Amino acid sequence: MPDLIATLLISLLKAVLVVLALLTTFAYMTLIERRLLGRMQLRPGPNRVGPMGLLQPAADAIKSIFKEDLTVTLADKLVYTLAPIIAIGMALTAFGGIPAGPAGSLFGENPWVYSLDAGILALLALTSMGVYGIFLGGWASGSKYPMLGALRSSAQMISYELGMGLSILGLLMIVGTTSFQGIVGWQAQNGVLLLFQSLGFALFLISSFAEVNRTPFDLPEAEQEIVAGYLTEYSAIKWALFQMAEYVNMITASAVMATLFFGGWKGPQVLNAVIPGMSDWPIVWLVAKIAFFLFLFIWVRGTLPRLRYDQLMRFGWKLILPLALANTVMTAAFLAFRGTGGLWFLGVLSLAGLLALLVMSDRVRVLWNQPTVRRPESEAVRAGGD
Amino acid sequence: MLLVALGIGIVAVLASALLGPKKASRAKLMAYESGNDPEGGGVGIGQRFPVHFYLVAMLFIIFDIETAFFYPLAVAYQKLIPFAFFEAITFVLLLLVGYVYILKKKVLEWA
């Protein structure tokens, strides 16, 4: 019995640690993002509050707590309050399963909060739950812009979730397990999965950009189009919680990509020749990989314009979904007829697929750039336009 | 984990509710709609939306179930080949027929 209580206490402690770490990372992510965007646009970014602007996140947090918390008259009070809590709860929980080192490497404890055999499934399920937070938030605001933003957002997120789920099937076929530890272990022995699944990785990357509502897919919060989407009626800490959920989702997506395709907490084995045991430094490698992906998220935000809504949906359904399916079938066929022997050949195939994706995205742009259905001009006029 | 995560959210909302100023006025509590009261007004009243969203949700359910069927197959794949391959291909082809049908019906268009 004392053992059970000790285990419970330890996992509670780890959960609190992970949550606090994520919140700090989120706070500093906002600062780093603003500074980096500033650098990209040849301006300094926030540098007044504290040295190098390092106290800016603290100032923002304190401000958002002391702001007036308004609930619009027409809003559904309970759901309106519950929605940001759901969003942040699911976002934070999703991160807990990511392993940050081998078993027992965190002062004798396991460096993950919970470990499930169906780790990836749990993660996908939790990200789906995040959609509820956003949609309920938009619906409960009792106003039209949030509702539109929420509808767009949920349609977009569920569409790209398909691409996400399908693009890792090839990976699962190769590895044969859905637990994160198993996948990291496989990669430590056979080389990172990016080599064998580069097409799958590209599709997963695009899908996760859309999944966490980042540019070029940040339609739900397109400020210039529908005010702030589902955030329009939110103020003070509830608004901050939604933002927090978005950034935490971004961190989780980075961690998942690092774990699934880049070897997780294992560093490159080559470096062991330079400093023995270097590839096993716990947490360091995972953090480095997450930082790389976070930088990628910001970099893309500073580079690409937003897609239109219809383009976005066509892109997801007509390019990502069939290609993810094709990647799955290709991997399946390869494994069925060549076995796991010459995996490098699968890597070449994937790379060819990736190149085809790049070429195709230019050639078949017409698939999502131009609507193939045109509303009859006269009908729109008769209805008074829109 | 879930409890701690939800707890953080609840604590934050409570803290803000306790600490923030409370000087609401009628104008402040109006929905954001160019200074007018919303037409129809309120949650779920008089709001109509394009049927596309419904179709997307339906398609998502269908294809997500497909994905759900694929996960066990993918995990156990190496023990079941080559038989599983043909099984899977048959399943994918059946779904592709549906996919081509919705493409031809132009369900995936937002004109």
Q: What is the rounded average pLDDT of the residues A117-125?
A: 86
In 3-state terms, what secondary structure has residue B8?
A: helix
Q: Which residues of B touch A170 (CB under 8 A)?
A: 74
Residue B105, min C-alpha distance to chain A (Å) = 10
d(CA B92, CA A324): 12
- pLDDT at position B54 is 86
d(CA A220, CA A146): 9
A278 pLDDT band, cuts 50/70/90, is low
Q: What is the pLDDT of residues A326-339, one digit of tens each?
A: 888 888 888 877 76
Q: Which residues of B touch A11 (CB under 8 A)?
A: 1
Residues linked to residue A109 through DSSP beta bridges, in sequence order: A106
Which carries the bigger pLDDT value, residue A148 or residue A55?
A55
Contact status, residue A218 vs residue A51, Cβ threshold 8 Å: no
Mean residue pLDDT across chain A: 80
Nearest CA in chain B to A15: B1
Contact status, residue B37 vs residue B31, Cβ threshold 8 Å: yes
d(CA A235, CA B35): 18
CA-to-CA separations, A17 to A11, A50, A61, B4, in angstroms, rounded: 10, 25, 19, 10
Residue A368 has pLDDT above 70, yes or no: no
Residue A343 has pLDDT above 80, yes or no: no
Which conformational region is residue A70 in: left (phi greater than 0), alpha (psi within -120 to 50 degrees), or beta? Answer: beta
CB pairs under 8 A between A and B: 212
Q: Which residues of A305-340 are buried (b: 16+ CB within 10 A; e: fewer)?
A: eebbbbbbbbbbbbbbbebbbbbbbbbbbbbbeeee
- pLDDT at position A3 is 80
A124 pLDDT band, cuts 50/70/90, is confident
In 3-state terms, what secondary structure has residue A109?
A: strand
Q: What is the pLDDT of residues A227-262, one digit of tens each?
A: 666 777 787 788 888 888 888 888 998 989 888 888
CA-to-CA separations, A296 to A109, A125, A167, A300, A301, in angstroms, rounded: 32, 25, 20, 6, 8
Residue B74, min C-alpha distance to chain A (Å) = 5
Residue B41 has pLDDT above 60, yes or no: no
- pLDDT at position A333 is 84
Whole-number CA gyration radius for chain A: 22
C-alpha closest to that of A294 among A262, A247, A259:
A247
User: Which of A142, A178, A337 has its CB closest to that of B42?
Assistant: A142
User: Which of B15, B41, B78 has its CB closest to that of A65?
Assistant: B15
Residues in chain A: 386
Query: Which range, of A37-41, A313-317, B43-47, averages the lowest pLDDT?
Result: B43-47
Q: What is the rounded average pLDDT of the residues A370-383?
A: 56
- pLDDT at position A220 is 66
Which conformational region is residue A177 in: left (phi greater than 0), alpha (psi within -120 to 50 degrees), or beta? Answer: beta
* Residue carrying structure tokens 């390019």: A319
- pLDDT at position A277 is 67
C-alpha closest to that of B3 among A137, A136, A90:
A90
Residue A299 has pLDDT above 50, yes or no: yes
Cβ neighbors of B46 (< 8 A, separation 6 or more) are B39, B40
d(CA B99, CA B105): 10
Residue B108, min C-alpha distance to chain A (Å) = 6
By the 10 Å C-beta count (0-12 exposed, 13-18 middle, 19+ buried), A173 is classed as: buried
Contact status, residue A278 vs residue A272, Cβ threshold 8 Å: yes
Q: How many CB atoms lie within 10 A of CB B18?
A: 9
Contact B104/A at CB under 8 A: no
A384 pLDDT band, cuts 50/70/90, is very low
Q: Which percentage of chain A shows pLDDT scores above 90?
A: 1
Contact status, residue A337 vs residue B82, Cβ threshold 8 Å: yes
Which conformational region is residue A309 in: left (phi greater than 0), alpha (psi within -120 to 50 degrees), or beta? Answer: alpha
Q: What is the rounded average pLDDT of the residues B56-68?
A: 88
d(CA A88, CA B23): 27
* B9–A85 CB contact, under 8 Å: yes
Q: What is the rounded average pLDDT of the residues A54-79?
A: 83
Contact B80/A at CB under 8 A: no
Residues linked to residue A106 through DSSP beta bridges, in sequence order: A109
* A241–B9 CB contact, under 8 Å: yes
User: Which of A23, A169, A313 has its CB closest to that of B110?
Assistant: A313
Which carries the bigger pLDDT value, residue A297 or residue A213?
A297
* Residue carrying structure tokens 């947490």: A283
Residue B36 has pLDDT above 50, yes or no: yes
- pLDDT at position A386 is 43
> Measured over all CA atoms, what is the biggest interatomic distance in chain A, rounded to whole angstroms?
77
* B32–A227 CB contact, under 8 Å: yes
* B111–A165 CB contact, under 8 Å: no
Q: What is the rounded average pLDDT of the residues A263-270?
A: 74
- pLDDT at position A385 is 43
Which carries the bigger pLDDT value, residue B39 or residue B50?
B50
Contact status, residue A27 vs residue A60, Cβ threshold 8 Å: yes
* B5–A19 CB contact, under 8 Å: yes
CA-to-CA separations, A335 to A3, A25, A171, A345, B67, in angstroms, rounded: 45, 40, 11, 11, 19
